[in-house]
Amino acid sequence: MIVVMKSGSPEPEIARICTELQSWGLTPEKIVGKHKVVLGLVGDTIDLDPLQIRECSPWIEQVLRVEQPFKRASREYRHGEASDIVVPTLNGDVHFSEHHPIVITAGPCSVENEDMIVETARRVKAAGAHFLRGGAYKPRTSPYAFQGHGDSALDLLATARAATGLGIITEVMDTADLERISEVADVVQVGARNMQNFSLLKKVGAQDKPVLLKRGMAATIEDWLMAAEYILAAGNPNVILCERGIRTFDRQYTRNTLDLSVVPVLRTLTHLPIMIDPSHGTGWANFVPSMAMASIAAGTDALMIEVHPNPSKALSDGPQSLTPDRFDQLMKELAPLGKMLDRWATPVPALV
């Protein structure tokens, strides 16, 4: 249930209403929008009469029920307004939001060594990326595949950030590693395989770094949003949803099926920002550019592109990784489309 306050509602009156609602056993969460303040009510509201709440104050404009099972993630919860997740980086604040320029994240699937990660960071920053994505801990289908360098890789990511100023996105797989990862990561990633690891979701929800939540390989949109709800309910309002492809009946030609229809669907359902990962979504580097452009055309707020200096020698996911030169070219190709949609602020030279 949400309480919409009238424009210009005095702060003492809002505080008084919150106190009264708390006495009813509810938890009011104040959401400040562009024009109005909304109070999200958490608790047992099933038998609560909206008229009873409206009688609390003449400054209350509306009382509405949130019909979706994902309460905090629902667009209704913010009275239709989109979230603006601000991530401080050494290069300045970066906004994940449908009302801001598209955020570009790039980097290798796994951190392999210092020279590789620092050089990749320099190249993707020069091309216009805002974040470096690199795996320190890697969930792999085979127990014999490269699992990442773990703690030492986090130190290398910190070195790359110091050298370039890029924000860092890296994945957490175990609650035991969360504190250490949060020391390095500007955004903590929960991968597809852990999307419904509810113990982990509660833990990342209890810390204050933004969370990038990847869609599970066989997850419905409602499954995904309910997973986000776990993080939001634990106290962290800063969740970014990442579509990375789902498994369907045809895996002969692409690694997964990139579900770009989630962009318009999520726009109607949730206020949370949206990222698309065409690298995992297709599994092949030559398909990534066209799907990246299609993602921007669909209205994504961010892109995640895998980049490796030598994909044929990559320890994981080489076939879907772009070379730095191809990433440079892709950024030039994306710029005209992003500018046409008024969603591009990355200074990129003209395509030649």
> Looking at the domain assignment, is residue 346 inside a domain?
no
Domain that holds residue 19: 2-65
Looking at the 3D structure of the chain, how many domains does it have?
A: 2
Residues of the chain with pLDDT under 70: 144-145, 147, 347-352
So what's the pLDDT on residue 43?
Answer: 81
So what's the pLDDT on residue 107?
Answer: 97
Answer yes or no: do 16 and 152 share one domain: no
So what's the pLDDT on residue 350?
Answer: 45
Token pair in block for residue 193: 């395989």
Strand, coil or helix: 187: strand
Residue 5: how many other CB atoms lie within 10 Å: 22
Write out pLDDT tens, residues 297-314. 999 999 999 999 999 999
Answer yes or no: do 55 and 165 share one domain: no
Asked if residues 28 and 40 have their Cβ atoms less than 8 Å apart, the reply is: yes
Which residue has 């009813």 as its token pair?
A: 24
So what's the pLDDT on residue 49?
Answer: 87
C-alpha–C-alpha distance, residues 303 and 64, integer Å: 34
> Looking at the domain assignment, is residue 253 inside a domain?
yes
> Looking at the domain assignment, is residue 142 inside a domain?
yes
C-alpha–C-alpha distance, residues 338 and 26, integer Å: 43
Q: What are the helix (H) ranges across 165-220?
A: 178-184, 198-206
Query: How big is the CA angle at 283 (ends 139 and 229), to the nearest 5 degrees?
Result: 55
Answer yes or no: do 104 and 48 share one domain: no
Answer yes or no: do 100 and 156 share one domain: yes
C-alpha–C-alpha distance, residues 108 and 322, integer Å: 9
> Looking at the domain assignment, is residue 275 inside a domain?
yes
Question: 268-278: buried (b, 16+ CB within 10 Å) or exposed (e) per residue?
Answer: ebbbbbbbbbb
C-alpha–C-alpha distance, residues 91 and 235, integer Å: 27
So what's the pLDDT on residue 147?
Answer: 67
Answer yes or no: do 127 and 57 share one domain: no
So what's the pLDDT on residue 65?
Answer: 87
So what's the pLDDT on residue 34?
Answer: 76
Token pair in block for residue 179: 């504190």
CATH code, 34? 3.30.70.1140
CATH code, 252? 3.20.20.70
Task: Say what the pTM is.
Answer: 0.91
